[in-house]
Amino acid sequence: MSYEKLPLEEFYKTIDELKPKFIERLQKAIAIPSVSSDETLRPKVVEMAHFLVDELTTLGFQDIQLKDLGIQPPPVADANLKLPPIVLARFGQDPKKKNVLVYGHYDVQPALKEDGWATEPFTMFHDKENDILFGRGSTDDKGPVMGWLNVVEAHNKLGWELPVNLVCCFEGMEESGSLGLDELVAKEAQQYFKGVDQVTISDNYWLGTTKPVLTYGLRGCNYYQIIVEGPGADLHSGIFGGIIAEPMTDLVKLMSTLVDNKGKILIDGVSDMVAPLTEKEDQLYDAIDFSVEELNAAAGSKTSLHDNKKDILKHRWRFPSLSLHGIEGAFSGAGAKTVIPAKVVGKFSIRTVPNIVSNTLDKLVIDHVTKEFAKLDSVNKFKVELIHDGAYWVSDPFNESFTAASKATQDVWNVVPDFTREGGSIPITLTFEKELGVDVLLLPMGRGDDGAHSINEKLDVPNYINGCKTLGGYLHYYAKA
Ligand SMILES: C[C@H](N)C(=O)N[C@@H](Cc1c[nH]cn1)C(=O)O
Ligand SMILES: [Zn+2]
Ligand SMILES: [Zn+2]
C-alpha cells in the first residue's frame, strides 16, 4: 500500500458529519417509485428526474438540462409513451481542471411488498441495529447517484473547490435497456460532453461482502419475449380443457428448449461464438477473494451449480447465461384458479460475453424458437422478438483512473481492492468508451449481497458513507494523476 497520500482527512470527516443529511436524501429518492418497466409508473420516473434537478440546483450545479428522448419504440403497449428525460448537469468549467463524466440511473426494478419484502419497498427502512438501509434502489442505483451529489455537498460545506469539473449524466431507462441513450451520447459527444477526459460509473457491486473492488468488465444483455395466443378470452378449463389448444402448453414447451437445468444454453451456435479462455485469463481468477460460501450467503441458499470459486467466477463473468424470467398473462396468484389463459408472453434474457455478435445472437434465438414452434404443430398464433439489448464491455484496468480509484479505496477501506468483472450489464458503458474515446471506470459502492433486483434490496450505511468518501477521494487522486 505504498502511494503518496493526499490530505483528505477533512473531506472524509465532513462526509461523516453529513451522514444524517445523506441518509435523508436517499430516503427521499427511494420514496419515488421510478420503475421504468412499468408503463403506469412512467410519471414517477419523470418525477424522479425532477427530484434530481431540484437537488442539483440546490447544490449549485450549473447548466442543468432535461433532455427529451421522444416516444418509446415498440414493443410497448402504449404507442404514445414518452421516454423519461436524461438529466445533464455540470459542476465547474475550469479549463485547468480535468473533466470527469459521472453516469448513473434514477430508474429502478419493480418491487411489491407481496413479493416477499419484509418492509415497504418504497419506504426506506433504516435498520439501526445493523446499520442497513432497505428499499428499492438503495444500492441500484439511487445510493451511488446520491453519492455524487453528496461529494459536492461535502466540498461546499468545507468551502473547497472540486478538484475536477464534474459532468453528470443520469438516465431513467437503464433497467429497461437504456432506450434512447446511445443516440443522445453520440449527439452530445462534441457538445455537452465535449472535453470529457474520463467516464466513471458507480452502478455495480462488490463481489463479496467485505472487500472493495474495481470493475473492468460487464456482460451484455439481450432480452426477448415469446408471445403465444389462442382463444379470444381466458376460458374455463372444465368447459374447454382438452378441447382447445392451450397457449400456455405451447409456451412452456418452447421455454424448456432454451436452457437445461444445469444452465447449459440449448440454442445452436451460441457457445461457438464465445472467445476461448486463455491460460493467463484462467490464472487471474486464482487471486480473487471469493468463496462458494459467499455465493450461498448472497443467494440465501445452497443451490449453486458449481462447487468452486473459479467455475463460479467464470460462469458469472466470462460465459453467457440464459435466464427464464416470467410469463405475462399466466395465472400467478394464490389459490387454485381453473383458467386457461388466452394469451401468454414468456420473457427470457441472455447475458452476453466476448465475442458474441448481438444481431447474430438474435437470429439464432429467433430461428431456434420458430423451429421449435413449428415442431409443436400448434394452431395458436406465435411471435418471438427482441425487447432490448445492451453490449458487453471489457477494458484494460491499468490506467490513471483505476490507479486513482485504488488509492482512494485504500485511504477509506485500508485494503487494496480486487479487480473484478461484473455478471450484470450497464448497456451504455461501451457507447461512452467509443463515442467519447475515453477510458471508463466502474467504481461500485454496495456489497455483493445487497439484493439488487431482488426482495429486501439494501445498502449498508458504512458502504454508503465510505462509498461517498471513495467517490470523492477518487476525484482528488485522479485530478493529480
Ligand atoms: C448492473 C446494473 N446495476 C444493472 O442492474 N443492470 C441491469 C441492466 C439491464 C439490462 N437489461 C435489463 N436491465 C441488469 O444487469 O439487469
Ligand atoms: Zn443499476
Ligand atoms: Zn439494476
What is the ipTM score, two decimals?
0.98
- 413 touches ligand 1 (CB under 6 Å): no
Distance 452 CA to ligand 1 centre (A): 9
- 178 touches ligand 1 (CB under 6 Å): no
3-state secondary structure 79-91: CCCECCCEEEEEE
Is residue 66 within 8 A of residue 184, CB to CB? The reply is no
Residues 162 and 68 occupy one common structural domain: yes
Mean pLDDT (whole number) for 330-344: 96
Distance 453 CA to ligand 3 centre (A): 6
Predicted local distance difference test score (pLDDT) of residue 75:
85
Q: Is 425 annotated as ligand-binding?
A: yes
Handedness of CA 70, 425, 107, 168 (dihedral sign): negative
Predicted local distance difference test score (pLDDT) of residue 421:
96
CA dist., res. 132 & res. 126, Å (int): 6
CA dist., res. 193 & res. 94, Å (int): 14
**Maximum CA extent, the chain:** 78
Q: Is the pLDDT of residue 319 over 90?
A: yes
Question: What proportion of the chain, given as a percentage, has pLDDT over 70?
Answer: 100
Q: Is the pLDDT of residue 410 over 90?
A: yes
Boundary of a domain, candidates 390, 409, 427: 390
Residues 328 and 404 occupy one common structural domain: no
Q: Which domain holds residue 36?
A: 9-219+393-480
Atom of ligand 1 at shortest distance to CA of 351?
15
Catalytic residue (choose from 174, 197, 450, 457): 174
- Take residue 256 and report the three cell numbers written for it: 424448456
Predicted local distance difference test score (pLDDT) of residue 447:
98
Predicted local distance difference test score (pLDDT) of residue 310:
95
Is residue 465 within 8 A of residue 144, CB to CB? The reply is no
Q: What is the pLDDT of residues 174-225, one digit of tens each?
A: 999 999 999 999 999 999 999 999 999 999 999 999 999 999 999 999 999 9
Is residue 388 within 8 A of residue 177, CB to CB? The reply is yes
Distance 367 CA to ligand 2 centre (A): 31
Distance 219 CA to ligand 3 centre (A): 13
pTM of the model: 0.95
Q: Which of 143, 138, 90 is nearest to 467 (CA)?
A: 143
Contact partners, residue 244, CB within 8 Å, separation at least 6: 230, 231, 235, 340
Is residue 350 within 8 A of residue 361, CB to CB? The reply is yes
The SS3 assignment for 196 reads coil
Residues 340 and 398 occupy one common structural domain: no
Boundary of a domain, candidates 337, 365, 390: 390
- DSSP for 117-149 reads -SS-TTS-EEETTTTEEESTTIIIIIHHHHHHH
- 426 touches ligand 1 (CB under 6 Å): yes
Q: What is the pLDDT of residues 11-41, one digit of tens each?
A: 999 999 999 999 999 999 999 999 999 999 9
Contact partners, residue 265, CB within 8 Å, separation at least 6: 258, 259, 271, 320, 321, 322, 350
Q: Is the pLDDT of residue 249 over 90?
A: yes
Predicted local distance difference test score (pLDDT) of residue 388:
94
For residue 51, the domain's CATH number is 3.40.630.10
Q: Is 50 annotated as ligand-binding?
A: no
Q: Is the pLDDT of residue 167 over 80?
A: yes
Nearest bound ligand to CA 108?
A: 3
Report the chain's mean pLDDT, rounded to a whole number. Answer: 97
**Is 174 an annotated catalytic residue?**
yes
Residues 175 and 239 occupy one common structural domain: no
- 110 touches ligand 1 (CB under 6 Å): no
Q: What is the pLDDT of residues 422-465, one digit of tens each?
A: 999 999 999 999 999 999 999 999 999 999 999 999 999 999 99
